[in-house]
Structure 1
Amino acid sequence: ATMADVRRQPTLHELKSYDMLVTSAVFLGLSAMTVIARIYVRGWMIRSFGWDDWLMMVTWGLFAVTTSLLISIALAEIHPPGVGDPDTVNGILTLVVCIFGLYILTTIIFKLSLAVFFLRVVNQRWQRQVIIGSVTLYTLFGTAWLFVAIFQCGNPGDYGKNELLGKCLPFKTILRPLNYTHGVLNAVTDWIFAISKSQHSCKYTTNEAET
């Protein structure tokens, strides 16, 4: 690649700024309607608003902040001077780090909300122990990964500069394995929730058939 190619500013089409703006706005609106419906049903209709609902509200609040930051990035890319301004680019990179941290924190709170819900519906001791153990492991690892992700280059505000200076943690040997591990734990925890619920449903169906 020539020097001109290296310094060429990416276009809005390449950055997918409008796609990110629309997608973030749509999912923010849909999630808001879903949470409002849950609050109405659980809090007003059946009068059974619990800790899982409060945690879900916190989860949505974090998600709303995350999508708002994504919208801010898209608007910063669209409006002049856009990515042609070094300060704007550094600000965008800082927001990206914040979004990554918020994503991890959101998944932790979301898992805690699901755990509280499933612990209310499962009766077997081993099921409860598996849920508590898996969520505890995920929470501990997720919390550690949260701090690593945010401070991988030192001060998040200097992410762009430190990245250029090579002061960040290596991606291949540290960040990527940790990211994969987080993804695996995330998926395994979800499978544990699903299996626990299916076991509970099967037992309930069997008991109903016997009676």
Structure 2
Amino acid sequence: MAEDRSLAVRAVAAVFLALASVTTMLRCYVRLRIVKAFGWDDGIMVLAYLFYIFFSGAMIGGSLWGTGKHLVDLTNHQRTTAMEYWFYCDIGYAVGSILCKISVAIFILRITIDRIHRIVIFVVLAFVVTAGLAFFILLLVQCHPIAYFWLRLSTVEQGKGSCININIVMDSLYAFSATSALFDMTIAVLPILLVRKLKMHRDVKIAVASLLGMACVASVAVIARIPFIPTLRNEDWLYETVNIAIFSNIETGLGIFAGSMATLRPLLRQFRPSTYQHTWPSSSRGGQRSKSMPLQSTPREEDSRPIPLEDRLYGSTFFTVEAGNDGYFAGDQAPILPKQPQISVKREVHVTTV
């Protein structure tokens, strides 16, 4: 009975908090210093990150008091303190997860033009937000008084409050998990549809679709957590529910990490400009980005043949002189940039005899 999983709880929370912190700070740097357009999706993701800090901090604190240990090895004070930290973890997870998904949805909507795709995003987002809010409200009202949530494991405080049937909480978590997985899978498929018909080189298409679809990786943790939801019925709560705590932290941490990574393309372009140039233009006016930014590529796939510098800049120049009844006509036509878009400049000089 001396098995202790508290170290695993602390390690998971620390590792994924570090990953989320790095990518969130890089996201803020890109939006504020490089792009100079800090949008709603960025602000909501920062807010989700703050709740994730609260979640991870409470998870680490709970592991120091008893999360991951058997109840028989804990005193009443350790039990109630660990359970109070668990309650704070629930709050941080529910709010942070919802905000993260809202941020990712706004980001994808910003670059989505197709009306059907936008409707699909709105629908799945409405499902996950509704399920998330229901789960959050249920967490707050599941016990009366609220403090009985963490006092119920104490041998002294038992019977001084009441909680709703645990099956209701489990069903709510099942619904939130299912809608979260549906949302993540939708976000995984849409980037492929967005770039499938665009005029891009194949490697650039793969890179852009991968960046946009990274936010779906959180679904792995969501699906992995579902089989452990029945452990909420177990009396040895702090030990048996460790897997739920771990996968919930991984889900939110991966969501913030991947959602922020998808916005770091301008930073990557500084290191490899030839790979990312002109594949994702964003229209901005006065520091505000437009609601949708179509993905496209200026060079066509059939125009991948190298072009000499002189031809790219000036094209071919020719000069003609024609004789007429009343004099001479001289034409100098120099097409500039023969590849798309084409700009032609024509100069005409008329010479007459006196």
Question: Would you say same fold, with TM above 0.5?
Answer: yes
Answer yes or no: is 1:60 the counterpart of 2:53: no
Displacement of 1:157 in angstroms is 1.7
TM-score for both structures, normalised by structure 2: 0.51
The Cα RMSD (Å) is: 2.5
Tell me which moved more, 113-122 or 156-165.
156-165
Tell me which moved more, 14-23 or 49-58.
14-23
Displacement of 1:100 in angstroms is 1.5
Q: Structure 2: where are the runs of 5+ without partners?
A: 201-295, 303-339, 341-354
In structure 1, distance between residues paired with 2:88 and 2:144: 13
Displacement of 1:54 in angstroms is 0.8
Displacement of 1:209 in angstroms is 5.1
Displacement of 1:87 in angstroms is 2.4
Contact 2:24 2:49 in 1 (8 A): yes
* Partner AA of 2:198 in structure 1: Y
* Partner AA of 1:156 in structure 2: I
In structure 1, distance between residues paired with 2:169 and 2:80: 21
Answer yes or no: is 1:169 the counterpart of 2:159: no
Displacement of 1:205 in angstroms is 4.0
* Partner AA of 2:193 in structure 1: Q
Contact 2:62 2:83 in 1 (8 A): no
What secondary structure sits across from 2:163 in the alignment? coil
What secondary structure sits across from 1:48 in the alignment? coil
What secondary structure sits across from 1:203 in the alignment? coil
Displacement of 1:84 in angstroms is 3.2
Contact 1:122 1:128 in 2 (8 A): yes
In structure 2, distance between residues paired with 1:179 and 1:118: 26
- Aligned residue among 179, 190, 205 for 1:185: 179
In structure 1, distance between residues paired with 2:148 and 2:43: 35
Answer yes or no: is 1:131 the counterpart of 2:110: no
**1:104-143 CA deviation, whole Å, 9 max, x = no partner?**
1111101110111011011011111111121122112211
Partner of 1:7: none
**1:59-100 CA deviation, whole Å, 9 max, x = no partner?**
11111111111111122249xxx9633123112112212212
* 1:16-27 map, 5 Å: 16-27=5-16
Displacement of 1:162 in angstroms is 4.3
* 1:9-88 map, 5 Å: 11=2, 14-77=3-66, 84-88=74-78
* Partner AA of 1:103 in structure 2: Y
Partner of 1:97: 87
Q: Which has the larger radius of gyration?
A: 2
Question: Identity across aligned pairs (percent)?
Answer: 23
* Partner AA of 1:198 in structure 2: I
**1:185-204 CA deviation, whole Å, 9 max, x = no partner?**
00101112222221111132
In structure 1, distance between residues paired with 2:60 and 2:152: 25
In structure 2, distance between residues paired with 1:68 and 1:146: 19
Contact 1:94 1:160 in 2 (8 A): yes
Q: Structure 1: where are the runs of 5+ without partners?
A: 1-9
* Partner AA of 1:19 in structure 2: A
Structure with the larger helix share = 1
